[in-house]
Amino acid sequence: MNMQADIKWLDDPQVFRVGQLPAHSDHYWYRDADEARSKSSSFAQSLDGQWQFKFADRPQHRPIGFYEPNYDTSDFGTIHVPGHIELSNYAQIQYINTLYPWEGKIYRRPAYTMGSDQTGEGMFSEAPDNSVGAYIRHFRLAPGLRNQRVIVQFDGVEEAMYVWLNGHFLGYAEDSFSRSEFDLTDALVDGENVLAVEVFKRSTASFLEDQDMFRFSGIFRSVRLVGLPTVHVADMHIRPVVNEDLDSGELNVTLKLTGDLESKARVHLTVFDKADKLIVDEKRPVAKQISFGHLPFENVMLWTHHNPDLYHLTVTITDADADPIEVVPYDIGFRRLELRNQVIYLNGKRLIINGVNRHEWDAATGRTVSMADMKADLQTFAENHINAVRTCHYPDQIPWYYMCDQAGVYMMAENNLETHGTWQKMGAVEPSDNVPGSLPQWREAVLDRARSNYETFKNHPAILFWSLGNESYAGDDIEAMNTYYKTMDSSRLTHYEGVVRNRKYETSISDVESRMYASPAEIRTYLSNQPMKPFLDCEYMHDMGNSLGGLGEYMALLDDFPSYQGGFIWDFIDQALWVTDEVTGRQVLRYGGDFDDRHTDGEFSGDGLMFANRQAKPAMQEVRYYYGQYDN
Amino acid sequence: MANTTTKLHVIFGDGTLGVATEDVHYLFSYEKGGLESILSHGKEWLYRPIRPIFWRATTDNDRGNHFSEESAMWLGADCFTRCQAIDVQVDGEDLGLPIAPQNNQFSNDEMADRVDITFDFQTATTPATKVTMHYQIVANGKVTLTSHLQGNEALPELPAFGVQLIMPTVATGFEYDGLSGETYPDRMAGGSRGQYYVAGLPVTPYLVPQEMGMHMQTRWLTVTRQRTLNNADVDAQPFSLSVEMNDQPFAFSCLPYTAMELEAATHIEELPLARRTVLSVYGAVRGVGGIDSWGADVQPPYRLFADVDRTFTIQIHPGNHVTD
């Protein structure tokens, strides 16, 4: 590998991953069964904590060559990983909704939207608003990772990053909300290693990440090293199938292995039910790809919201002496999702979505959310009969998907995609500079996002819908994402609201008629006129401030129309930030515009069922009541 | 409560009408146009005269659908409505406005079974319309207050119609018989009927202060305070005042702030230090809406069109709620 980092990649929508490992399933691996039980892997080494850090307000001011091990870092400060650069006060906080954050400051049109010769060169690599964080972390390999292949995992870095180890360039990644992995092995040294990451706030990915949220940058999710044992499960594709009788089923598992595949190692697949009864017990020699097909299941325990029964699958790799090399547990769920006569059924019952949209949010740490936050949110779901969540508008932290499996929360797993500012101008649909649109130069970037989302989360029973993204208009590129999901996965439905903006793609983009903020009367009209698809509200009941009046009119649609499947309230939690009040010294919650940030959409992010401090708004009792009436 | 066989003592002042029982002394101000004092066992309940109110603080949804812009004149009316006429009746005899020299005929021993006093207001709207607040006091000392708004189809929709009692100090809490939580006409299905006590005067921490704390379908309400502004009052025993429904349940909010104070703040920390109790009792309030926050109006059944007459009646008395 002898790549050179090129800053011009920031300008080119066709460069979005360089040197990254391909996306794969999100399984954890352990040295033995004891480690698996305690969920503590000696193959993993966290790099969270204090990193060395140097901030530059623009690319031209960044420390060139800082990744060299002998670089003089005496003028570096520190930053906590994970965290946002802005919340460490190196850069200004800004909240903005649909307009791009550079609105009125810098004129930009996405590359190739104004013609095939408009390549956008220099648009970000030479931009005065493209701040840069130079991160350095020294580490020594933990004993459990030595003499193995070693991978670094970045769970979330916003928005573009270049990675070096000991001065060797490893690669480049965009897509802030998907895990990025790089193989460190060939650049590792004994003793101290120097990991360097250069994070740019803007790149062409900025056009794809125009979500209604505070605009941050930095390494905002965890970073860790993982060691790969001599034989390693790189990917697992688990496909439980429930037959039409809702009683029998089968399991299909395909494993991709890496490492020493010529060895005498063996693969042992077991599945226990929740009563610890052994259902599957299969052994095979190792191979690059191993498929266990049509493993029969009788009296299948179905996974549902109220009974999220999971079977315990384990893949164990053993050596010639039958000692474990690697143990990979994965809890799996059997459920049957069908779309028949414009109605979605789960396990033979009409699906009713009592849902919420949920941004990852913590008033102190922004989109760096803790396990405690996630647990609290699921507790709130349970208390208020919320049975479904849309991961608006990006993939969430990986543990959240496991927690939804266990809690029986139906998921709409959304891609990291929103290009709102490229097609809607002051409320009007005006897609003349829309991306991805049908532009071939943007297609691979969004397909890559779809692939990362699918490959990472494909084994989670909680996911019923893949969502192609949010508010990005519609074109051939989003159609290609839909085709991708349809090719890979017959067990789930696809969702995309933007199809209603461009009916040309009506039959090729979304399995459901999805709208946002349609009135009950508009929904009635759709459902009363031979609807082509089931209807769901991907966003409804905008709970900004003191709101949520009239929920009953939506709930009544459930009684009147079988094809009405419910919806996701916008949204779960206010986005606001704790700040020390400059006058009183008290801790107070602040919103857009309170940081001198202009342009801004002010308090528009205060539209949760919860205040930003996770105190329920008074309106929650109305949700509890109505969702309770339709609890299923 | 006072002995119901006791008569009311009526004091025909030169700027006020005093009405007293053994337990409570009311002062109606001719100058200020309303009931300005409820004094019971040495405890004053009013900081400013009871007045009609037409506004509740703008919600984010109101801002989005331009309701407050369309209905802005009701904010003016809420602040600046003028009392135009006062009429006093004692035991059914119409005395008009009994100031000097008319009141020279009375003594300090004027007794009555019933006193009615009506204040007529002209709203600061274009066109103006008429609001009347009619107080009736009977021998047991209970006040029955009936407010009436004359409809006018030329006027915009109302945020609310009610009366407001501003109390001199912050309440220690309030108890009511109504619905749980905070409820609005279009958001009250989840409220469970019961008797609830709310400690203090909590401010619901919306990012931008706005209408908050409404309680629909209330049968009675008791506000309890512990402190007065009377410099000679060193007693710290709690004391209470109650509002009872008459024929129909009412809505209320009990907050440390007026709608204007809420309206003016862009953050909670900009609200003034809590000093008063602002008890707003409503005959009608607009819903909050919820379809979206950038245009969708509240659904029609929950909007207050101005073309109809509106009347509501409550009873007010010092002390705890009593079942009749």
Size of interface A-B (CB pairs under 8 A): 129
CATH 3.20.20.140 fits A7-228, yes or no: no
Give the residue-averaged pLDDT of A100-108: 97
Gap between the Cα atoms of B277 and A451, Å rounded: 59
Show which residues on chain A lie within 8 Å of chain B, measured between beta carbons.
517, 519-520, 540-553, 574, 576, 581, 583-584, 586, 588-591, 594, 603-604, 606-607, 611-613, 615, 617-619, 621-626
Pairing of strands A49-56, A77-81: antiparallel
User: What residues of chain A lie within 8 A of the CB of B292, using their CB?
Assistant: 517, 542
Smallest CA–CA distance from B58 into chain A, residue: A546
Contact by Cβ (8 Å): A436, A385: no
Gap between the Cα atoms of A444 and A452, Å rounded: 12
Contact by Cβ (8 Å): B218, B194: no
Instruction: Kindly determine whether residue A519 and residue B293, on different chains, have CB atoms separated by under 8 Å.
Output: no
**pLDDT, tens only, B140-191:** 999 999 999 999 999 999 999 999 999 999 999 999 999 999 999 999 999 9
Instruction: Kindly determine whether residue A546 and residue B293, on different chains, have CB atoms separated by under 8 Å.
Output: no
The answer on pLDDT for B3 being more than 50 is no
Smallest CA–CA distance from A577 into chain B, residue: B207
Give the residue-averaged pLDDT of A450-469: 98
CA pseudo-torsion sign A82, A453, A325, A330: positive
User: What residues of chain B lie within 8 A of the CB of A537, using their CB?
Assistant: none
Active site residues of A: 471, 539
- DSSP assignment string, A489-558: -SSSEEE-GGGGG-GGGHHHH-SSEEEES--HHHHHHHHTS--SS-EEEEEES---SS--TTHHHHHHHH
Which of B64, B187, B299 is opposite residue A548, by nearest beta carbon?
B187
Which of A519, A545, A619 is opposite residue B187, by nearest beta carbon?
A619
Task: Answer whether B268 touches A (CB < 8 Å).
Answer: yes
Name the strands in the sheet holding A349-350, side by side, starting at the edge strand that comes first in the sequence: A337-340, A343-346, A349-350
Preferred mutation among A547, A569, A581 to probe B, highest tally of B CBs within 10 A: A547
Preferred mutation among B59, B61, B207 to probe A, highest tally of A CBs within 10 A: B207
Of B303, B315, B172, the closest CA to residue B240 belongs to B172
Contact by Cβ (8 Å): B276, B170: yes
Task: Answer whether B64 touches A (CB < 8 Å).
Answer: yes
Gap between the Cα atoms of A631 and A623, Å rounded: 11
User: What residues of chain B lie within 8 A of the CB of A613, using their CB?
Assistant: 205
User: What residues of chain A lie within 8 A of the CB of B189, using their CB?
Assistant: 551-552, 622, 625-626
Tokens encoding A57: 């307000």
Helices (H), A170-312: 205-208
Instruction: Kindly determine whether residue A588 and residue B269, on different chains, have CB atoms separated by under 8 Å.
Output: yes
Tokens encoding B29: 């101000």
Instruction: Kindly determine whether residue A588 and residue B293, on different chains, have CB atoms separated by under 8 Å.
Output: no
Contact by Cβ (8 Å): A124, A206: yes
Residue A473, min C-alpha distance to chain B (Å): 20
Interface pTM (ipTM) of the complex?
A: 0.93
Instruction: Kindly determine whether residue B290 and residue A543, on different chains, have CB atoms separated by under 8 Å.
Output: yes
Residue whose token pair is 């992010």: A605
Residue B120, min C-alpha distance to chain A (Å): 34
Residue B181, min C-alpha distance to chain A (Å): 6
Instruction: Kindly determine whether residue A545 and residue B210, on different chains, have CB atoms separated by under 8 Å.
Output: yes
**pLDDT, tens only, B34-73:** 999 999 999 999 999 999 999 999 999 999 999 999 999 9
Task: Answer whether B67 touches A (CB < 8 Å).
Answer: no
Write down all domains in chain B, each with its CATH number in brackets.
51-86+140-318 (2.70.98.10)
Task: Quote the mean pLDDT of chain B.
Answer: 96
CA pseudo-torsion sign B278, B279, B283, B286: positive
Task: Quote the mean pLDDT of chain A.
Answer: 97
Contact by Cβ (8 Å): B313, B145: yes
Local confidence band at B324 (pLDDT 50, 70, 90 cut-offs): low
User: What residues of chain B lie within 8 A of the CB of A611, using their CB?
Assistant: 205-207
Local confidence band at A632 (pLDDT 50, 70, 90 cut-offs): confident
Q: In this predicted structure, what is the pLDDT of residue B1? A: 43
Smallest CA–CA distance from A617 into chain B, residue: B204
Smallest CA–CA distance from A518 into chain B, residue: B291
Instruction: Kindly determine whether residue A617 and residue B204, on different chains, have CB atoms separated by under 8 Å.
Output: yes
Query: What residue type is B6 in one-letter code?
Result: T
User: What residues of chain B lie within 8 A of the CB of A569, using their CB?
Assistant: none
Q: Delimit the domains of chain A by residue range.
A: 7-228, 231-332, 350-573+608-629
User: What residues of chain A lie within 8 A of the CB of B215, using their CB?
Assistant: none
Q: Tell which CATH classification among 2.60.40.10, 3.10.180.10, 2.40.37.10, 2.40.30.10 matches the domain A231-332.
A: 2.60.40.10
Query: What residue type is A461 in one-letter code?
Result: P
Instruction: Kindly determine whether residue B207 and residue A545, on different chains, have CB atoms separated by under 8 Å.
Output: yes
Helix, strand and coil content of chain A, in percent to the nearest 5, comes to: 20, 35, 45
Task: Answer whether B318 touches A (CB < 8 Å).
Answer: no
Q: In this predicted structure, what is the pLDDT of residue A494? A: 98
User: What residues of chain A lie within 8 A of the CB of B186, using their CB?
Assistant: 549-550
List of long-range contacts for A273-278, beta carbons under 8 Å, 24+ apart:
A273/A301, A273/A309, A273/A311, A273/A312, A274/A301, A274/A309, A274/A310, A274/A311, A274/A312
Q: What is the enclosing helix (H) or strand (E) of B311?
A: strand B310-318
Q: In this predicted structure, what is the pLDDT of residue A210? A: 98
Q: What percent of chain A has pLDDT over 70?
A: 100
The answer on pLDDT for A49 being more than 60 is yes
Instruction: Kindly determine whether residue A540 and residue B208, on different chains, have CB atoms separated by under 8 Å.
Output: no
B152 by Cβ neighbours in 10 Å (0-12 / 13-18 / 19+) ranks as middle
Residue B273, min C-alpha distance to chain A (Å): 12
Instruction: Kindly determine whether residue B184 and residue A623, on different chains, have CB atoms separated by under 8 Å.
Output: no
Q: Hey, which residues 145-204 in chain B have their CB within 8 Å of chain A? A: 180-182, 184-191, 204
Gap between the Cα atoms of A302 and A314, Å rounded: 19
Give the residue-averaged pLDDT of A426-439: 96
Q: In this predicted structure, what is the pLDDT of residue A142? A: 97
Gap between the Cα atoms of B137 and B116, Å rounded: 6
User: What residues of chain A lie within 8 A of the CB of B268, using their CB?
Assistant: 588-589
Task: Answer whether B212 touches A (CB < 8 Å).
Answer: yes
Instruction: Kindly determine whether residue A545 and residue B191, on different chains, have CB atoms separated by under 8 Å.
Output: no
Preferred mutation among B63, B291, B303 to probe A, highest tally of A CBs within 10 A: B291
Instruction: Kindly determine whether residue B267 and residue A583, on different chains, have CB atoms separated by under 8 Å.
Output: no
Which of A545, A581, A604 is opposite residue B206, by nearest beta carbon?
A545
Instruction: Kindly determine whether residue A607 and residue B293, on different chains, have CB atoms separated by under 8 Å.
Output: yes
User: What residues of chain A lie within 8 A of the CB of B291, using their CB?
Assistant: 517, 519-520, 540-542, 550
User: What residues of chain A lie within 8 A of the CB of B204, using their CB?
Assistant: 546, 617-618
The DSSP secondary-structure symbol of A61 reads G
Q: In this predicted structure, what is the pLDDT of residue A3? A: 83
The answer on pLDDT for B4 being more than 70 is no
Task: Answer whether B218 touches A (CB < 8 Å).
Answer: no
Question: CB within 8 A of B263, min separation 6: which ones?
Answer: B55, B57, B58, B75, B209
Residue B58, min C-alpha distance to chain A (Å): 10
Instruction: Kindly determine whether residue A591 and residue B211, on different chains, have CB atoms separated by under 8 Å.
Output: no
Instruction: Kindly determine whether residue A550 and residue B268, on different chains, have CB atoms separated by under 8 Å.
Output: no
CATH 3.20.20.80 fits A350-573+608-629, yes or no: yes
